Structure 1
Amino acid sequence: MAHDHKVLDALDAAKTQWYHFTAVIIAGMGFFTDAYDLFSISLVTKLLGRIYYFNPSSKTPGSLPPNVSAAVNGVAFCGTLAGQLFFGWLGDKMGRKKVYGMTLMLMVICCLASGLSFGSSPKGVMATLCFFRFWLGFGIGGDYPLSATIMSEYANKRTRGAFIAAVFAMQGFGNLTGGIVAIIISATFKARFDAPAYKDDPAGSTVPAADYAWRVVLMFGAIPALLTYYWRMKMPETARYTALVAKNAKKATSDMARVLNVELTEEQKKAEEELERREEYGLFSRQFAKRHGLHLLGTTVCWFMLDIAFYSQNLFQKDIYTAVNWLPKAETMNALEEMFRISRAQTLVALCGTIPGYWFTVFFIDIVGRFAIQLGGFFFMTAFMLGLAIPYHHWTTSGNHAGFVVMYAFTFFFANFGPNSTTFIVPAEIFPARLRSTCHGISSAAGKSGAIVGSFGFLYAAQSTDPAKTDAGYPPGIGVRNSLFMLAGCNVIGFLFTFLVPESKGKSLEELSGENDEEAAPGQSIQQTVPTNLSE
């Protein structure tokens, strides 16, 4: 029997209005900060190596040892995984709004602390940096389930996919901004404290001022998070949480009447009787396994496989660019010049491949559906990765950098116009309200475990098989080419598991989660009057 909770019908039927865009900005700025914080570290890791691991007797610039590089790049993902599970569960227990502010303040504090990392030795500085980045990741982790859930519960069913995708698309701007900030900082410091190339003056190729450059880049991420805090605290709790989980139909009605400019009248007693009749199965119950077990398996495996490929590409694209000779060798430039070139390369790829992919999803997801976009994304990611891997020696020896970069940008485009967006959107739609944040947290934590595999595993797997590097202390690897084959295989697995995930286009959240099938009280519990300009 369909539910009689008319405030939820009002949410589904309300036309797009100013508050929806406000919610996108408020939730999206969290993701802007998330992407900036997670990916900005890849812009400064080579600089960290040159500052803290320079060996005067060596014939090459300093670089982070593989284990230190893996820790610096991957520790935030460990924190993110823990945060997704913890805050996802807490969001279903305490409410979306209460937990939302906690995650943002944790991100602000740890962003600033990361830039203030201290120590009397290189190991001390790296250990402090890793500590603060773990807790930064913990706060970022909370943003995933909460932002997705809040946006899905505010949006109408006609444009819900586009709004959740728009929140997630702010990641692209965060990624782009990280590159732009790093370009500005490195160019400014380079102009003010210019230094010779390493080959001309090894000891002077890293100026003392470079130690400030990476700190400023990391600390900048606190600014957008801090600016968003006030508006997050002004948001009301979502009506679906208040009505279906907190079981306060009166408050849900008044909150949504104010937010959506809709006149709603409620019959409190009947609404509460309806809510009491609803079936309350838990996450580990047989009923949940029967209704949503395969769905949860599909969302977790797809997100896990996607993030192995996606984060491997993002964090180590600088190494791939060097391998195909798009970036000059480190010894031909000073530290700030190297940071400038890495940032410029990653900004170009973000501008040409990453951001367009996100916004293609925003515009098309409610037209072609989640299922088709995810399948197509996995398919084309596989195709373009094989296009990089099979003729890999052609890319590395022919000097055809432009062709390689175009192919590489297309893998990012179809990741974002594909599973990187849909794996975030679908778990916020298909699970019951009382378990929605928890299940999204589990799905996104599976993704972050894939990111950990990508950031730690790819680092070792992609190590050159060159004996000279192995003798220098680097572990032997299978090389970049074979790593690309492995990432293509991950995409194939994601493609197959997509068939376990239902299409959610054009359906209400209650219809998707099965809450429409639960027994409701007869009669009308909440009566609505929707102005004609707001009805669908």
Structure 2
Amino acid sequence: MADLLHHHKHHDPTNQGIVSVPHGPETGDDHASYPYAHNPDNEKAIFAYLLHPDDSYTPEGVYWADLPIHKRIAFVAKTDNQEALKELRSIGSMMKKDPLSPIGWYLRNAVLPGAGLGLESYVLFSIGNLTPLFQAAWPACWKSFKVCNEQWVNAVTYLEVVGIIVGQILVGIIGDGIGRRWGLIQDAMIMLLGLIMLVASWGTSLNGWVVCYAWSLFVYGIGVGGEYPMTATAAMENATGSGRVSTKEDRLHRGRNVTTAFLMQGWGQFFNQVILIILLLIFHHGSGNPPYSKVATQWVYRVSFAIPAVGTLWLVYYRWYKMPLASKQLNAIKKKANVTGYDLQSLKLTFYHFGPRIFATAGGWFCNDVFFYGNKLFQSQFIKVISPTSSNNVMTGWLWNLLNVGVSLMGYYLASFLIDNKNYGRKWMQQLGFLMDFILFVVPAFHYKYYTSIEGIHAFQAMYFLSSFFNQFGPNAVTFLVAAEVFPTPVRATAHGFSAAIGKCGALLASVLYNYITTQQKFYVVPWFGLGGMLITAIFLPDTTGLDLKEQERRWEYIRSGRESEYHGVAVHKQHLSLWERLRGIGKYYDPELDYQSKINDMRADWEAKQAEKQTNEDGLASEEDEYNAEVHSYFHATGNNSPFLKPMKQQQPSTDSDDMNEKAAS
């Protein structure tokens, strides 16, 4: 920014020469000698592309959310179409040079950032997939509970969810206190430890093995929990950068960048199901039909967990050596606020100013996880309704689930495609997803006998798959994004981790409750969480679609310095505030003209601070050198050696063994 302001130049029509704009966005009397110093139009021309980028403002400087609805729709459509055309041209240029280069780009920008989520999803949803196989191979343990304790069998799902909750809160705090990079590395290492335990788990009895299996999942769950806040914050902040000025890529594609990493969760489910099918065919002599031998089940179980262990080991390496700048934005914010360690003041201010947002992100995630984990962890029970024969044939249930995962992936990708569209975006997407899940569960709840009969089974099947689609194309993707997006950088991981942990309480509720109620009763219970999630979203969640994240950080600087009423920017525009915040009058400070002057002043303050820091560093280096020279000359004076040929900066070199031998020989 400083270089940009310092070197920006204008053509002078009077002198037919080039004159420099004042150092920094200064327009005061000290720069009266500059011909354009007091020209507001000239100032706006200089800073328009910084303060009023064309993807968010009209040529007249009107913010897109201030436009009448018909003009807003046209502006958004034009901007998105231009960006889409630009991206298509870029893809075309890449393919001319290398036809496979778009694949490489996708691997670097979507697969790698979401690798941790893909691996944890693979393991997480193995539980629901492996349970039918365990029940078929060890019915006395997993079905009738004659040789295994029923509570420990049920604890397999409980303990994993508890581990996730612990990891989300703990690693969220660590990620804000120590840094994103260490949080990412730590997650991968804990997941690796958990996978080693899963592969090696054993017991002197079947019940002993179940106990070991459950505690291994608890350890693994801690790493899984940490992946949520760390992946979300890292993916968002790496795209945003640490300076005051954001990029067009961030403004137009921030949501896509985060959700493309998040949708690796869907691919984790997909590959888990595919690999389990392949392993069962390999170890069960090419057949997926019962009965299933205990040896084949052991091999399927252990190899299926050994595969992600290899991937997680690579993830540890990648995060350790290839992500040195993961904490760059967090460090920049802390440095500016003169904070080291955990920023407790920001945490207190966040709960005070953004308490309703925490309720929105945590409450929405809770409602979503009753749907999501109820659907996934106990999907075998739902599939039995669709395909009654799957109760005896594990392969049949797995194939139905594979189809369901494919439908879910379509929802993930469509969410990624539309989540940054200003005419639709985060809030509408989450509300629609909750509403559709409510409808698709409440209809079969009150007509259960018909929809599970031969006449209605296909309609039931369609509703079940559509519920999976709208869950991904809605609350499951949006909750992950907004829980990081609506909070300031210093406590972003903590707020995200807390929201996710409350969400997992919904998963815990589902995992406990679903063990004690029938399938039909589940349909009576679940829909109301969809309705509740929709209402929480409508009232308490702000819409950050199209909001420059740097503006939110700028507003936070004003809040932290006790000047909330002096912020007049778009972060308090009614478009980006929740209904609750608007009713409280937070949007009353929005004023584009006052905000323009505030931005100029903020940029000037940034520039002057950087110049002062630069001068301080230069003076510090000079004073250190002067102090060193003074000490050297004092030494010479004390020893009586004032030879001008002795160089103060010359350092004594350490002697080598050969030097010592030569000195001894000379003596």
TM (normalized to structure 2)? Answer: 0.64
Do structure 1's residue 244 and structure 2's residue 244 form an aligned pair? no
Q: Aligned residue for 1:494?
A: 533
CA drift of 1:423 comes to 0.5
- Contact map agreement 1:53 1:64 (CA 8 A) in 2: no
Q: 1:172 to 1:305 in 2, by over 3 A?
A: same
Which residue does the alignment assign to 2:251? Answer: 157
**Where does residue 333 of structure 1 map in the other structure?**
none
Query: Paired residue for 2:271?
Result: 177
Whether the 8 Å CA contact 1:111–1:222 is kept in 2: the answer is yes
Whole-Å separation in 2 of the counterparts to 1:327 and 1:346: 14
Change in Cα spacing, 1:315 to 1:523, as seen in structure 2 (3 Å) is closer
Q: Which has the larger radius of gyration?
A: 2
- What letter matches 2:450 in structure 1? H
Query: Structure 1 residue 296 and structure 2 residue 296: aligned?
Result: no
Q: How far 1:284 moved relative to its partner? A: 5.4
Matched, 1:415 2:471: yes
Question: Higher relative contact order at CA 8 Å, sep ≥6: structure 1 or structure 2?
Answer: 1
> Do structure 1's residue 395 and structure 2's residue 458 form an aligned pair?
no
Tell me, yes or no, if structure 1 residue 349 matches structure 2 residue 390.
no
User: How far has the Cα of 1:402 moved from its partner?
Assistant: 3.5
Q: Which ranges of 4 or more aligned residues in structure 1 deviate by more than 4 Å?
A: 3-7, 12-21, 60-66, 194-198, 518-521
* Distance 1:500-1:382 versus aligned 2 partners, 3 A rule: same
Identity %: 26
Give the partner amino acid of 2:380. K
Deviation, 1:506, is 1.8
Q: 1:208 is matched with which residue: 295, 300, 308? A: 295
* Pairing 1:480–2:519 present: yes
Amino acid at match of 1:288: T
Task: Mark the CA change 1:231 to 1:482 in structure 2 (over 3 Å): closer, same or farther.
Answer: same
Q: Which structure 1 residue ranges, 5 or more long, are not aligned? A: 199-204, 248-271, 331-337, 462-478, 528-536
Deviation of 1:51 after TM superposition, in Å, equals 3.3
Of 289-298 and 366-375, more deviation after overlay is shown by 289-298
Q: 1:25 aligns with which of 111, 118, 127?
A: 111
In structure 1, C-alpha distance between the alignment counterparts of 2:354 and 2:366, rounded to whole Å: 18
Q: Which one of 131, 144, 152 corresponds to residue 215 of structure 2?
A: 131
Partner of 2:504: 448
For the Cα contact (< 8 Å) 1:195–1:206, is it kept in 2? no
Question: In structure 1, what is the equivalent of residue 367 of structure 2?
Answer: 305
- Structure 1 residue corresponding to 2:484, chosen from 417, 428, 433: 428
Give the 3 Å change call, closer, same or farther, for CA 20–507 of structure 1 in structure 2. farther
The CA distance in 2 between the partners of 1:321 and 1:293, in whole Å, is 40
1:282 aligned residue (345, 351, 354):
345
Q: For residues 109 and 494 of structure 2, what CA distance do their matches in structure 1 show?
A: 21
Query: Contact conserved, 2:289 with 2:395, CA < 8 A, in 1?
Result: no
Query: Aligned pair in 2 of structure 1 residues 365, 128: CA closer, same or farther (>3 Å)?
Result: same
Q: CA deviation at 1:21?
A: 6.6
- Tell me by how many angstroms 1:505 deviates: 1.3
Cα distance in structure 1, aligned partners of 2:387 and 2:305: 27
3-state SS of 1:83 partner? helix
Distance in 2, matches of 1:171 and 1:160, equals 18
Q: Which of 324, 336, 360 in structure 1 is aligned with 2:414?
A: 360
CA drift of 1:325 comes to 3.7
Measured against aligned partners, the alpha-carbon deviations of 1:140-196 in whole angstroms (never above 9, x if no partner) come to: 11110010001111221221001111111111100111110111011222225x698
**Does the alignment pair 1:322 with 2:384?**
yes
Match of 1:397, SS state, is coil
What is the rounded CA distance, in whole Å, between the counterparts of 1:63 and 1:374 in structure 2?
45
Partner of 2:133: 47
Give the aligned partner of residue 190 of structure 1.
Answer: 284
Q: Distance in 1 between matches of 2:610 and 2:106?
A: 23
Distance 2:2 2:151 in 1: 57
Is 2:196 the counterpart of 1:141?
no
1:244/1:21 Cα in 2 relative to 1: closer, same or farther (>3 Å)? farther
The alpha carbon displacement at 1:43 in A equals: 1.0
Contact 2:276 2:304 in 1 (8 A): yes
CA contact (8 A) 1:27 1:167 kept: yes
| Partner residue, 1:87 | 171
Q: Is the 8 A contact 2:148 2:207 kept in 1?
A: no
Code of the residue aligned with 2:121 in structure 1: it is: A
Distance apart, 1:490 and its partner CA:
0.8
User: Which residue of structure 1 lines up, in the alignment, with residue 543 of structure 2?
Assistant: 503
Taking a change above 3 Å as real, the CA distance of residues 64 and 483 of structure 1, as seen in their structure-2 partners, is farther
Equivalent pair of 1:49/1:63 in contact (CA under 8 Å): no
What amino acid maps onto 2:358 in structure 1?
L
Distance 1:5 1:50 in 2: 69
How big is each residue's C-alpha offset from its partner over 1:221-251, in whole Å with a ceiling of 9 and x where there is no partner? 2233223333322112343212002x1xxxx
Q: CA contact under 8 A between 2:280 and 2:288: conserved in structure 1?
A: no
